[in-house]
């Protein structure tokens, strides 16, 4: 594949390759910070070398770059593809939009390191960065809107409707982000844990489900034979949104049966999602990541519900157990889903994510991390000194955590290097084609 | 003496480059200055001496390519080395200020002749097999030798003698076979930058380097953190060598401008870190990397990479490069260090602009749209932010409000919660839960999601301001092996005291009720039964000895409300004669767990009952009858 790329015209749309490269850059950067954080836990004295850029500030950078860099930019690539912004003269504007996005992330990272934060987890945007990042989102929106208008005639009426609705939703996102980052707004609180309520967890999970259901329509064609799974899935999702609406947004404990039972309604997605995805035609090279993301999804839904049950949540709250669950969600499920999306978008160029070493390295490391953190959280639930005071067991866990973090960093670096190679080769092909024409 | 192409192994070139660097770094920059100090040359005399060196250097850098006498490169190099060696040996004599000026001119002149001749004809001594690698190796070895602890710490006389002898050895090297000056080749795209642009970049880098070098030299605490100690020097030497080799690799793979930009980033970061003596350790890593990255380029560019058509043009470019970037840049950097004592961040930015804006070919030309849109968005965001904040009147915040902002800025919520869960063990450790309504008034609530440390929602009721401050300075000292970083830097300005004020303000309304529950608490019978004095002693030394041992680290007597008693002698203000042994053990256990309110004695709420019972057992055995009370 790699040697052919120089002589054969690449079938990879370059904006998507660029989006993948930007996303992977931020993944590697954020993972490197994760490794730094793991080192600082083992050797806290090293904080002195960092001056004012201590552990707490790096955590903000790590979390936000994972979310707004790695987890967002592949979806930007997806939107380029769906709205047709990656074709024709508009494709020239995809890369500038990616630059603006990355510049906003760089400004954000600097602002967090210099102590500017809203004090809200994953919504630390503050001051100048809080204005710049939504503007970057608006730049993307504008590009998509122009692409939408340009492709108006070519699209079917259903596609037009879906894309118009999508544009409306996307227009709201920057404003939501701006206002949600304000210290004046705070979501519903579970009074028994200080965390989110069952209803708000159901709501955020359903947004993920909605994205999962929409993705295949932008990525692949449906199989010829009709599948009931598609209609059933959409119907269940609407019903669950209604349930969510009924539950409201009050500060309610997870001990209320209505809360944990309603959250349990998500379990239906464990069998339903694979059936839904089986109704579409996928590139053959997406197979391993499709299986991976569906496995992580099943693990996430099941463990998410179990961890919310009375008694269990009380045991694990504020412990490493929930850190492990967050990693399962972000590095396990979301990352494998995003890579699956990128492989599908890249077509044959998806080889960059399909090296056996990085695939198993990443997934085994994530599994190891989740198991370690669950074990630590289980122990910590009985004895808070397990984390607060030093001990052999805690140190061993921190060392193992550093090791698996290092493996995740190495895997992501592998993808980045391959993506950079692909980008370079794709540029050469592009230049050659231009010269020939 | 000329041999056929390809028969020169290249080690001659490596040794000549290394010798030149060693002479310049260890003699001209170090030993000669130390010697001047020992001769009593200071003030305006010192300025005149240094100016003479710069004048000699500039003059001979510019004259060397234009000299019609001594046309043979070997002969010219020998003369340069001999002049340099003579200057080093003459510096050993007890000379006066005027002689020092002459000698200094000689050093500059020798170096000017030596450096320009060497790089103009470097390929004659390097051969054609990997000359870039050899140039990098020569530079790296030069820096490595200078950082050998025994050599670096030797007296000025030893350093001058060694430098002189090395120059003489260099003369010997010039008698070895060399290859003819090869044909000049056309420029490659990687080096196709205008000479003025390259000159400006090198000047900015040398300026930064010299300023940083001078400031480190003149500031004892910076010098202690960078160039003192054998380990440090060895590490510096290794870093220099590795960075030099990395520079070679980058020059090949990414080109000159990439290396100069990387060098600027490393040097710029080092210069910014030098503003804060606490970050000197980090600066001592970036500084050698930045220096070696560009030092290799300073040899490789005029010798191998410059897009020239003749040896004469190569010589002229080398002359201008060393005269302007080398000597003038260095003089200006030292002047800045002398007059300002630090490198202003704005200057670092300006240097960065010179270097990074030299990428027009690769950035602006190839990415016009990207750069334009990004700049437009950055400016638009700036304007919008100004509009959005235009009506915000500057608030007069209280120390508590400012402290809360510090809590947010430092990301404390990533390790500490502010939420006590009802019907949970949290209550006994940290206080009674507060109603959600109170939490909702906070902007934003700082609940947090993870406990790497204790809950802080009612920390003000459990810890004194002094304890909090001591803890921020050095957490492990007062909180047995805590993994919390030191926040001593917050106390360099108002932030530390504000943060302490904020934490002190964190009280729950249920504090009196919690106090009465504390009074009724005692370790569980099973914990008391399993307690043992050996564990108690170990735990005492981990958690209590820092204050309660006569040699405890935290006994800053003048800061405590009352000096913590040495528990081997007392006094035991909070124990009573009337209590029997079991009651006393319970009393000690309560003090260990919850502290003594109204004093600086903290609790250890998170310790399990068996550990508390063990400490209590051991202490009750150690404490004599509490009849020592004053």
- Neighbouring C-beta atoms of residue A224, cutoff 10 Å: 6
Q: What is the pLDDT of residues A285-312, one digit of tens each?
A: 999 999 999 999 999 999 999 999 999 9
Do B216 and B347 have their domain in common?
yes
Q: What is the pLDDT of residues B129-161, one digit of tens each?
A: 888 999 999 999 999 999 999 998 889 999 999
B430 Cα distance to chain centroid: 39
Instruction: Please give the mean pLDDT across all residues of chain B.
Output: 86
Q: Does B473 touch chain A (CB under 8 A)?
A: no
Do B20 and B57 have their domain in common?
yes
| CA-based nearest distance B254→chain A, Å | 13
Do B506 and B551 have their domain in common?
no
Cα–Cα distance for residue pair A32/A38, rounded to 1 Å: 10
* CATH 1.20.210.10 correct for A4-436: yes
Nearest CA among A285, A430, A303 for reference residue A359: A285
Q: How confident is residue B363, by pLDDT bands cut at 50, 70 and 90?
A: low
Q: Does B424 touch chain A (CB under 8 A)?
A: yes
Do B332 and B352 have their domain in common?
yes
Decide if pLDDT at B374 tops 60.
Answer: yes
| CA-based nearest distance A89→chain B, Å | 13
Asked if the Cβ–Cβ distance from B415 to A56 is below 8 Å, we say yes
Residue B433's domain comprises 399-512
In B, minimum Cα distance to A380 occurs at: B451
Cβ-based contacts under 8 A for chains A and B: 174
Q: Is residue B139 situated within a structural domain?
A: yes
Residues 341-400 on B with a CB inside 8 Å of A are 367, 369-374, 377-378, 380-382, 384-385, 388
* Residue numbers in B near A179 (CB within 8 A): none
A106-120, A126-140, B479-493, range with the lowest pLDDT: B479-493
If you ran DSSP here, which 8-state letter would residue A280 be given? E
Do B195 and B166 have their domain in common?
no
| CA-based nearest distance A115→chain B, Å | 4
Q: Provide the pLDDT for residue B2.
A: 40
Decide if pLDDT at B32 tops 60.
Answer: yes
CA atoms within 13 A on the CB side of A194: 27
- Percent of the residues in chain B that have a pLDDT greater than 70, as a whole number: 93
Asked if the Cβ–Cβ distance from B421 to A51 is below 8 Å, we say no
Do B140 and B200 have their domain in common?
no
Q: Provide the pLDDT for residue A6.
A: 33
Cβ atoms of B305 and B251 closer than 8 Å: yes
- 3-state helix vs strand vs coil in chain B, percent to 5: 65, 0, 35
Q: What are the tokens at A247?
A: 């539950």
Asked if the Cβ–Cβ distance from B445 to A189 is below 8 Å, we say yes
Count the domains in chain B: 4
**What residue has token string 């205008």?**
B194
Do B198 and B257 have their domain in common?
yes
Q: What are the tokens at A368?
A: 């190891």
Cβ atoms of A308 and A267 closer than 8 Å: no
Q: Provide the pLDDT for residue B335.
A: 82
| CA-based nearest distance B483→chain A, Å | 5
Q: What is the pLDDT of residues A74-98, one digit of tens each?
A: 999 999 999 999 988 899 999 999 9
Do B116 and B253 have their domain in common?
no
- Neighbour-count burial for A266-303, b at 16+ CB within 10 Å, e otherwise: bebbbebbbebbebbebbebbebbbebbbbbbbbbbeb
Q: How confident is residue B8, by pLDDT bands cut at 50, 70 and 90?
A: low
Q: What is the pLDDT of residues B230-262, one digit of tens each?
A: 888 888 899 999 999 999 999 988 888 889 999
- Neighbouring C-beta atoms of residue A427, cutoff 10 Å: 15
Of A58, A322, A387, the CB nearest to B452: A387
Do B252 and B198 have their domain in common?
yes
Of A51, A96, A387, the CB nearest to B373: A96
Decide if pLDDT at B51 tops 70.
Answer: yes
If you ran DSSP here, which 8-state letter would residue B565 be given? P
User: Where residue B458 sits, what CATH number does that domain have?
Assistant: 1.10.760.10
Q: How confident is residue A197, by pLDDT bands cut at 50, 70 and 90?
A: very high
- Residues with Cβ within 8 Å of residue B326, at least 6 apart in sequence: B57, B61, B115, B202, B206, B298
A242-246, B71-75, B80-84, range with the lowest pLDDT: B71-75
Cα–Cα distance for residue pair B16/B135, rounded to 1 Å: 10
Instruction: Please give the mean pLDDT across all residues of chain A.
Output: 91
3-state secondary structure of B105: helix
Mean pLDDT of B66-86: 88
User: Where residue B248 sits, what CATH number does that domain have?
Assistant: 1.20.1250
Asked if the Cβ–Cβ distance from A388 to B606 is below 8 Å, we say yes
Asked if the Cβ–Cβ distance from B381 to A388 is below 8 Å, we say no
Asked if the Cβ–Cβ distance from A51 to B279 is below 8 Å, we say yes
Decide if pLDDT at B481 tops 80.
Answer: no
3-state secondary structure of B102: helix
Decide if pLDDT at B625 tops 60.
Answer: no
* Residue numbers in B near A96 (CB within 8 A): 369-370, 372-374
Do B171 and B195 have their domain in common?
no
Question: Which of A45, A52, A124, A312 is the mutation pick for testing B, counting most B CBs within 10 A?
Answer: A52
B481 or B40, greater pLDDT: B40
Q: What is the pLDDT of residues B524-562, one digit of tens each?
A: 899 889 988 898 888 888 888 888 877 777 766 557 777
Cα–Cα distance for residue pair A262/A244, rounded to 1 Å: 8
Of B381, B429, B607, the CB nearest to A135: B381
Q: Is residue B93 situated within a structural domain?
A: yes
Cα–Cα distance for residue pair B74/B124, rounded to 1 Å: 9
* Residue numbers in B near A317 (CB within 8 A): 421
Boundary residue ending a domain (B305, B338, B359):
B359
* Residue numbers in B near A193 (CB within 8 A): 419, 421
Nearest CA among A223, B61, B79 for reference residue B87: B79
| CA-based nearest distance A287→chain B, Å | 35
A16-25, A152-161, A336-345, range with the lowest pLDDT: A152-161
Decide if pLDDT at A1 tops 50.
Answer: no
Decide if pLDDT at B177 tops 80.
Answer: no
- Residues with Cβ within 8 Å of residue B263, at least 6 apart in sequence: B205, B247, B290, B291, B293, B294, B297
Q: What is the pLDDT of residues A395-412, one digit of tens each?
A: 999 999 999 999 999 999
Asked if the Cβ–Cβ distance from A44 to B384 is below 8 Å, we say no
Question: A222: which strand partners?
Answer: A280
Q: What is the pLDDT of residues B259-282, one digit of tens each?
A: 999 999 999 988 888 887 777 778
Decide if pLDDT at B362 tops 70.
Answer: no
3-state secondary structure of B566: strand
- What does R_g of chain B's alpha carbons equal in angstroms? 34
| CA-based nearest distance A219→chain B, Å | 27
Q: Is residue B137 situated within a structural domain?
A: yes
Cα–Cα distance for residue pair B67/B76, rounded to 1 Å: 10
Of B276, B388, B411, the CB nearest to A59: B411
Q: Is residue B385 situated within a structural domain?
A: no
Cβ atoms of B141 and B18 closer than 8 Å: yes
Q: Does B485 touch chain A (CB under 8 A)?
A: yes
Cα–Cα distance for residue pair B111/B58, rounded to 1 Å: 10
Do B532 and B495 have their domain in common?
no
Cα–Cα distance for residue pair B106/A374, rounded to 1 Å: 72
Do B201 and B345 have their domain in common?
yes
| CA-based nearest distance A262→chain B, Å | 23
Asked if the Cβ–Cβ distance from A121 to B484 is below 8 Å, we say no
Cα–Cα distance for residue pair A317/B418, rounded to 1 Å: 13
Asked if the Cβ–Cβ distance from A119 to B413 is below 8 Å, we say yes
| CA-based nearest distance B550→chain A, Å | 24
Q: Provide the pLDDT for residue B356.
A: 76
């Amino acid at each position: 594949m790699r040697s052919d790329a120089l002589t054969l015209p690449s079938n990879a749309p370059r904006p998507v390759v660029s989006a993948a490269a930007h996303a992977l850059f931020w993944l590697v950067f954020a993972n490197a910070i994760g490794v730094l954080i793991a080192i600082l836990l083992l050797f806290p004295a090293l904080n002195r070398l960092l001056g004012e850029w201590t552990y707490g500030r790096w955590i903000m950078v790590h979390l936000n770059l994972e979310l707004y860099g790695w987890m967002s930019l592949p979806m930007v690539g997806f939107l380029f593809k769906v709205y047709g912004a990656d074709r024709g003269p508009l494709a020239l504007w995809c890369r500038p939009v990616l630059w603006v996005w990355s510049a906003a992330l760089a400004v954000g990272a600097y602002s967090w390191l210099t102590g500017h934060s809203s004090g809200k987890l994953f919504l630390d945007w503050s001051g100048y960065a809080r204005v710049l990042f939504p503007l970057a989102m608006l730049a993307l929106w504008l590009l998509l809107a122009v692409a939408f208008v340009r492709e108006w005639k070519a699209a079917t009426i259903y596609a037009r409707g879906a894309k118009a609705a999508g544009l409306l939703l996307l227009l709201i996102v920057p404003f939501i982000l701006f206002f949600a980052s304000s210290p004046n707004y705070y979501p519903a609180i579970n009074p028994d844990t200080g965390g989110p309520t069952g209803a708000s967890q159901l709501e955020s999970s359903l947004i993920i489900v909605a994205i999962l259901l929409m993705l295949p329509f932008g990525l692949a064609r449906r199989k010829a034979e009709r599948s009931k799974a598609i209609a059933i899935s959409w119907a269940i999702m609407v019903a669950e949104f209604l349930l969510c609406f009924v539950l409201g947004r009050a500060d309610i404990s997870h001990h209320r049966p209505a809360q944990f039972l309603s959250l349990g309604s998500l379990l239906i997605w464990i069998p339903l999602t694979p059936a839904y995805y089986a109704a579409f035609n996928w590139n053959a090279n997406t197979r391993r990541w499709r299986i991976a993301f569906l496995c992580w999804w099943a693990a996430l839904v099941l463990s998410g519900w179990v961890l919310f049950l009375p008694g269990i949540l009380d045991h694990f709250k504020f412990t490493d157990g929930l850190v492990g669950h967050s990693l399962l969600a972000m590095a396990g499920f979301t990352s494998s889903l995003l890579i699956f999306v990128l492989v599908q978008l890249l077509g044959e160029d998806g080889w960059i994510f399909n090296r056996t070493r990085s695939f198993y390295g990443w997934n085994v490391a994530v599994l190891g991390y989740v198991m370690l953190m669950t074990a630590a959280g289980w122990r910590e639930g009985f004895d808070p000194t397990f984390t607060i005071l030093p001990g052999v067991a805690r140190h061993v866990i921190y060392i193992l955590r550093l090791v698996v973090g290092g493996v995740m960093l190495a895997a992501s670096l592998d993808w980045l290097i391959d993506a950079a190679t692909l980008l370079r080769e794709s540029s050469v092909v592009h230049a050659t084609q231009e010269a020939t024409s | 003496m000329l041999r056929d192409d390809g028969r020169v192994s290249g080690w001659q070139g490596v040794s000549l480059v290394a010798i030149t660097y060693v002479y310049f770094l260890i003699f001209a920059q170090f030993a000669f200055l130390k010697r001047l100090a020992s001769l009593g040359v200071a003030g305006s005399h010192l300025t005149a001496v240094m100016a003479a060196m710069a004048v000699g250097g500039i003059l001979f850098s510019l004259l060397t390519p234009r000299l019609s006498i001594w046309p043979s490169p070997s002969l010219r190099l020998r003369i340069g080395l001999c002049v340099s060696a003579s200057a080093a040996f003459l510096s050993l004599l007890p000379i006066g200020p005027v002689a020092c000026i002459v000698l200094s001119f000689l050093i500059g002149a020798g170096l000017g002749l030596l450096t320009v001749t060497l790089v103009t004809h470097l390929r004659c001594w390097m051969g054609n097999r990997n000359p870039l690698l050899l140039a990098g190796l020569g530079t790296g070895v030069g820096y490595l030798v200078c950082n050998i602890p025994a050599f670096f710490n030797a007296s000025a006389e030893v350093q001058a003698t060694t430098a002189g002898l090395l120059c003489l050895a260099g003369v010997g090297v010039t008698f070895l076979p060399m290859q003819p000056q090869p044909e000049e080749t056309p420029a490659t795209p990687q080096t196709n930058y205008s000479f003025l642009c390259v000159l400006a970049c090198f000047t900015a880098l040398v300026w930064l380097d010299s300023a940083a070098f001078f400031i480190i030299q003149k500031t004892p605490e910076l010098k202690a953190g960078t160039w003192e100690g054998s380990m440090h020097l060895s590490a510096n030497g290794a870093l220099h060598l590795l960075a030099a080799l990395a520079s070679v690799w980058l020059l090949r793979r990414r080109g000159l401008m990439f290396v100069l930009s990387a060098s600027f980033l490393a040097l710029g970061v080092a210069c910014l870190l030098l503003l804060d003596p606490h970050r000197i350790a980090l600066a001592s890593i970036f500084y050698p990397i930045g220096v070696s990255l560009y030092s290799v380029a300073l040899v490789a560019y005029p010798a191998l990479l410059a897009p020239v058509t003749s040896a004469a043009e190569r010589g002229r470019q080398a002359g201008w490069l060393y005269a302007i970037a080398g000597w003038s840049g260095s003089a200006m950097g030292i002047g800045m260090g002398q007059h300002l004592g630090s490198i202003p961040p704005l200057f670092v930015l300006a240097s960065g602009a010179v270097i990074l804006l030299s990428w027009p070919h690769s950035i602006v030309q190839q990415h016009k749209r990207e750069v334009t849109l990004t700049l437009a968005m950055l400016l638009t965001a700036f304007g919008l932010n100004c509009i959005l904040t235009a009506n915000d009147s500057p608030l007069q915040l209280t120390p508590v409000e400012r402290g809360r902002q510090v809590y947010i800025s430092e990301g404390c919520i990533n390790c500490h919660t502010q939420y006590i869960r009802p019907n949970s063990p949290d209550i006994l450790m940290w206080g009674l839960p507060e109603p959600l309504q109170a939490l909702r008034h906070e902007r934003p609530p700082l609940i947090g999601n993870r406990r790497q440390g204790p809950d802080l929602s009612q920390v003000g009721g459990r810890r004194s301001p002094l304890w909090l401050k001591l803890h921020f300075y050095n957490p492990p000292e007062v909180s047995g092996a805590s993994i919390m970083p030191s926040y001593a830097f917050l106390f360099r300005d108002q932030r530390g005291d504000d943060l302490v004020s904020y934490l002190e303000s964190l009280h729950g309304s249920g504090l009196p009720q919690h106090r009465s529950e504390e009074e009724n608490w005692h370790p569980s019978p099973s914990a008391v039964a399993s307690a043992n004095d050996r564990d108690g002693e170990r735990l005492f030394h981990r958690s209590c000895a820092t204050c309660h041992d006569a040699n405890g680290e935290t006994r800053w007597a003048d800061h405590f409300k009352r000096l913590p008693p040495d528990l081997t002698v007392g006094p035991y203000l909070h124990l009573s004669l009337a209590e029997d042994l079991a009651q006393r053990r319970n009393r000690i256990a309560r003090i260990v767990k919850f502290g003594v309110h109204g004093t600086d004695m903290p609790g250890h709420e998170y310790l399990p009952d068996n550990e508390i019972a063990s400490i209590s057992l051991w202490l009750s055995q150690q404490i004599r009858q509490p009849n020592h009370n004053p």
